Amino acid sequence: MSQTLPLRARAEIDLAALRANVRALRARAPRAALMAVVKSDAYGHGMVPCAKAALAAGATWVGTATPHEALALRAAGIRSRVMCWLWTPGGPWREGIEADLDMSVSGLWALTEVTAAAREAGRPARIHLKADTGLGRNGCQPADWPELVAAALAAEAEGTVEVTGLWSHFACADEPGHPSIAAQLDVFRQMVEYAEKAGVEPEVRHIANSPATLTLPQTHFDLVRTGIAIYGVSPSPELGTPADFGLRPVMTLAASVALVKQVPAGHGVSYGHHYVTADETTLGLVPLGYADGIPRHASGRGPVLIGGEWRRVAGRVAMDQFVVDLGGQKIEEGSEALLFGPGDRGEPSAEDWAQAADTIAYEIVTRIGARVPRVFLNEDPDE
């Protein structure tokens, strides 16, 4: 990257790294198909280019939360299997059927709506019945499962649905040895067995997210749904670093230093004056703020590589900018400030920012705002 950036700031998205991450994950789950989870604009990385890169590297499914995200993938020309799971009354079920989406059903209300839409569309809907095996979020409780399975089989008999999947989601797969992992797996096996004995013939059974894909081979079944790991971010520091799993961070967040100036000792910095210079020093202005997803919680703590040194946010992160104390170092306006990236140049990681903001790295990358342009690198899979 040049020292003088043409842009205020940018998020570079290394699609070669994303493809390599997908290949590394496929090698960890060799008997399962891989779904690239690209919800929330691919965790902030750019949904369509990331979906295409993942498919080029061997993913055969893409997954989103909302139907609107899934329909946007179809509108962009993506023809692979596309699954989405966060439905609310009103659908859009018919659009989902006509777009050949795989749609999650967690309860009778959804089955009623999707079968009505299938009758109108004149073709069956592909559905995945979701079991709540212990997460306590979306999904059907074990006590309600027989009724949902029976209703789905009746709909299959009348030709309004095809049950293509049975699935669930973990609560604590990122906490090694957590007792809920084995408990959920046990409940999942029982709920799958019940549905299959009742006559459901799913194409895919799936429960594994990134941490399960990386560390729990017994959870892989027919399909793994990997989100954070395809972006080269570890699901949790407790599990290991990205490098421990052969993954490489995909996003680099950089900004162009907007102003450097000398200030005297005792000078307050940014709103509330929570930082006051100890000595005469130089301050650097970084033109990124909480509107761009820089957490205000990282005020006084977030790390930035500038002029070869790690500096910390001085005082509060504001909406559009924050300040670092350069300790007398004189750098030029337009110099590069690297907030996070793969670490090749000694820059911090998204995980370092997560620690500084007391959150998880998922949130750091996903919240990088729309005002920061994504610059896609290595788009050509043949490179």
β-bridge pairing 309-314 and 322-325:
antiparallel
How far apart, in whole angstroms, are the C-alpha atoms of residue 250 and residue 242? Answer: 11
Question: Chain centroid to CA 29: how far?
Answer: 19
Q: How far is the CB of 146 from ligand PLP (least distance, A)?
A: 23
Among 133, 184, 210, 321, binds ligand PLP (CB under 6 A): 210
If the CB atoms of residues 215 and 299 are measured against ligand PLP, the closer one turns out to be: 215
Segment contacting ligand PLP by CB under 6 A, of 91-99, 195-203, 223-231, 253-261: 223-231
The two three-digit tokens of residue 105, written as one number: 């059903």
Dist. CA 240–CA 243, nearest whole Å: 8
Catalytic residue of the set 130, 271, 275, 290: 271
CB under 6 A: which stretch of 16-24, 221-229, 251-259, 352-360 binds ligand PLP? 221-229
CB closer to ligand PLP, 225 vs 311: 225
CA 26 to CA 34: how far, in whole Å? 7
The answer to whether the CB of 341 falls within 8 A of the CB of 308 is no
Could you say whether residue 209 binds ligand PLP (CB under 6 A)?
A: yes
Nearer to ligand PLP, 183 or 239 (CB): 239
Between 39 and 52, CB nearer to ligand PLP: 39
Which one, 4 or 218, has the nearer CB to ligand PLP? 218
Per annotation, catalytic residue among 39, 52, 130, 362: 39
Size of the site for ligand PLP (CB under 6 A): 11
Closest approach, Cβ 225 to ligand PLP, in A, equals 4
Percent helix, strand, coil in the chain, to 5, is: 35, 25, 40
Q: Measure the CA–CA gap between 356 and 322, rounded to whole angstroms.
A: 15
The tokens describing 21, both together, are 């991450």
> Segment near ligand PLP (CB under 6 A), from 185-193, 222-230, 241-249, 256-264?
222-230
Q: Which is nearer to ligand PLP, 133 or 226 (CB)?
A: 226
Closest CA to 261 of 330, 335, 334: 330
Closest residue (Cβ) to ligand PLP? Answer: 227
Catalytic: 43? no
Q: Is 309 left (phi over 0), alpha (psi -120 to 50) or beta?
A: beta
- Please give the C-alpha separations between residue 202 and each of 37, 126, 157, in angstroms, as whole numbers: 20, 10, 15
Q: ∠ at Cα 47 (111, 71), nearest 5°?
A: 35
Tell me whether residue 123 is annotated as binding: no
Residues 112/161, Cβ–Cβ less than 8 Å: no
**Can you tell me which of 44, 165, 202, 235 binds ligand PLP, judged by CB under 6 A?**
235
Give the contact letters, 311-350, x = binds to ligand PLP (CB under 6 A), - = no.
----------------------------------------
Task: Note whether 299 binds ligand PLP by CB under 6 A.
Answer: no
| Structural contact between residues 46 and 374, judged by C-beta atoms closer than 8 angstroms | yes
Among 26, 126, 128, 225, binds ligand PLP (CB under 6 A): 225
Q: Is 137 within any annotated ligand binding site?
A: yes
In sequence order, what are the residues at sequence separation of 6 or more whose Cβ sits closer than 8 angstroms to the Cβ of residue 282? Answer: 260, 261, 262, 263, 325, 326, 327, 328, 329, 330, 331
The residue within the footprint of ligand PLP, chosen from 184, 226, 234, 281 (CB under 6 A), is 226
Q: Please check whether residue 300 is in contact with residue 211, taking contact to mean a CB–CB distance below 8 angstroms.
A: no
Only segment of 9-17, 71-79, 190-198, 227-235 that touches ligand PLP (CB under 6 A) = 227-235
* The token pair that represents 108 in the structure block: 């009778």
Catalytic residue list contains 362: no
Under the criterion CB under 6 A, does residue 133 sit at the interface with ligand PLP?
no
Between 153 and 182, how does the x/- string for binding to ligand PLP read (CB under 6 A)?
----------------x-------------
- Catalytically annotated residues: 39, 271
Sites of contact with ligand PLP (CB under 6 A): 37, 85, 169, 209-210, 225-229, 235
Annotated binding site for substrate: 137, 319
Annotated binding site: 137, 319
